[in-house]
Structure 1
């Protein structure tokens, strides 16, 4: 026997609540029902590239867990990410929080766990902070591919856009999709403008930050850091069950490495932490960073990061400070990451992250 009052009407399509976007590119909860999380994705080799090739879009949520997880991977507990910030008092994510999400957009099309590649160059523009709880749309395109010295390179351009349509961060990266990372160390790098050597001029002034009174030759005090294996693994998406030379010992050894190495993008985040401390609020809205990766750095291997002022330009919008930046392995003194950065600061002091601590 059936009873009319036992029947529940189906909700209208417009009233069905859709699940909120997950915090990552992929939702690892799918593993409960899906056997192969990378089924249907292309093998990440040069021959499979399509130029141009769209990557995304995908929408993610910058939740409390995502911010705290990033802080753990970098050991970077910027107080603005955990309490009030100078941006309307709201909690914000670290400046480079979304950098790896943009870099990893290719894994929406290509199998990430089959990638044994090498990130050769990274460029990032910081346009605005991302707020706690904000839904962010990520999209990218493979815009160019070429072969050089027997390696196949691909160039990606990508962007993270906030709920209101503003640009948060822009990315341009160069990657070798399939190689033996252990054979690429020590290649050296240069640009038509200048080469970064990591050597300091004869007369330098050590400073803790940059501002309108900065001078060419000023060198940032910087800091030393160690990225542990579990930090590298979490940064490199072990939480999404992705296996690569940064998160898995056997995969690393299959790539000619002794142990997992710190992802290039994680080193970019180290430099961004360094420059956030140096520039404060301005880094989130007027920062630019371009680096090249020269040598690998293993997990648990101590490194140091610093920056050197090369030029200071006064303008109508403030003072533009140009830098050389680098990360150095402390075990042998070799540079692992070198590059250039700039930021325009107002002609008055701005709050620094340390000033809001406690």
Structure 2
């Protein structure tokens, strides 16, 4: 989306700062001279889908604010994102920094503030870190759509590519495009071949990280979080003036929710923190994550996240570790997010 700015007189250009490439899908500065920020965009309902439908490419800038803002929303102040990392001592973004940008690509053509959907499944492949100051190109497309149990589902595939053409992260997500979120709960945690119970044997070895000495039955020390209304709103694009069930109390009530709920992709970021802690720098280049969102999570509801090793397999350069992952509400013990992860680590 091209944004036009008023240019100052030529002799003033040296003293007045010029607009810089923006860090998000849309530039909120245009609100100063645009009445309707979503004018011309389609209503996000199943009947308006086109398959396939392309989104982007669009370029975002990985600046200091984008990284620090994500750190705030996740309460994740990893020193690699604020100072030097193992990648040539360069400062990098969090593993899941671009996840929501990829999920929200559809709002380039559909009105984000009219979306009352439900993210049901997320899959991410981590290919390389993203660096501070880098301009990243995002693109994606709707590739499938179907109706099940009276709900319209759509599948998005997208990716983020660095300035040098390398793949940073790839995404495949499934979403119900229009629903009543307050009526969706307990959607199940199974696939045809696997089910995540969130149960850990009482004699499981609790570890701080996974590596070549990991073994099935190891469990990652739990990560405890409370995602506040402020954090959820910022994550869900209130800074771009997008209003939704995650950022606006009244819209949440219209969706039969008592309070705003935490976006599924924000919970993916919590698991991304867990798995960065588990696998270290290898998570940014060899990580894979697939999750399902099975219960809603209200803002301010304490959660616990962890990972449980289910398999260790020798590969050419070391070991591939497979794990189940989940997030649990501490208020009632119910799981909100469940899934599977894997990463290769050297011997």
Q: Tell me the TM-score normalised to structure 1 length.
A: 0.92
Give the aligned partner of residue 210 of structure 2.
210
Please list every run of 5 or more consecutive structure 2 residues that lacks an aligned counterpart in the other structure.
Answer: 1-9, 12-17
Give the aligned partner of residue 286 of structure 1.
286
Q: 1:318 Cα shift? A: 1.4
1:38 partnered with 2:38: yes
Q: 1:299 Cα shift? A: 0.4
Q: 1:19 Cα shift? A: 5.3
Find the aligned partners of 1:21 and 1:158 in 2 and give their Cα distance. Answer: 21
1:270 partnered with 2:270: yes
Q: CA offsets, 1:34-56, max 9 Å, x none?
A: 01000000000000000000011
Q: Secondary structure at the residue paired with 2:278?
A: helix
The correspondence of residues 42-57 of structure 1 with structure 2, limited to 5 A, is: 42-57=42-57
Count of residues in correspondence between the two structures: 335
Give the aligned partner of residue 170 of structure 1.
170
Give the aligned partner of residue 352 of structure 1.
none
Q: CA offsets, 1:200-258, max 9 Å, x none?
A: 13531111100000000000112110000000000000000000000000000000100
CA RMSD of aligned residues (A): 1.6
Q: Secondary structure at the residue paired with 2:297?
A: coil
Please list every run of 5 or more consecutive structure 1 residues that lacks an aligned counterpart in the other structure.
Answer: 1-7, 10-17, 348-358
Q: Which has the larger radius of gyration?
A: 1
Give the aligned partner of residue 126 of structure 1.
126
Q: 1:189 Cα shift? A: 2.8
* Structure 1 moving runs of 4+ over 6 Å: none
Q: Tell me the TM-score normalised to structure 2 length.
A: 0.94
Give the aligned partner of residue 244 of structure 1.
244
Q: CA offsets, 1:15-41, max 9 Å, x none?
A: xxx954210000000000001000000
Give the aligned partner of residue 180 of structure 1.
180
Q: Secondary structure at the residue paired with 1:54?
A: strand
Q: Secondary structure at the residue paired with 1:250?
A: helix
Find the aligned partners of 2:85 and 2:143 in 1 and give their Cα distance. Answer: 36
The correspondence of residues 15-26 of structure 1 with structure 2, limited to 5 A, is: 20-26=20-26
The correspondence of residues 1-358 of structure 1 with structure 2, limited to 5 A, is: 20-347=20-347
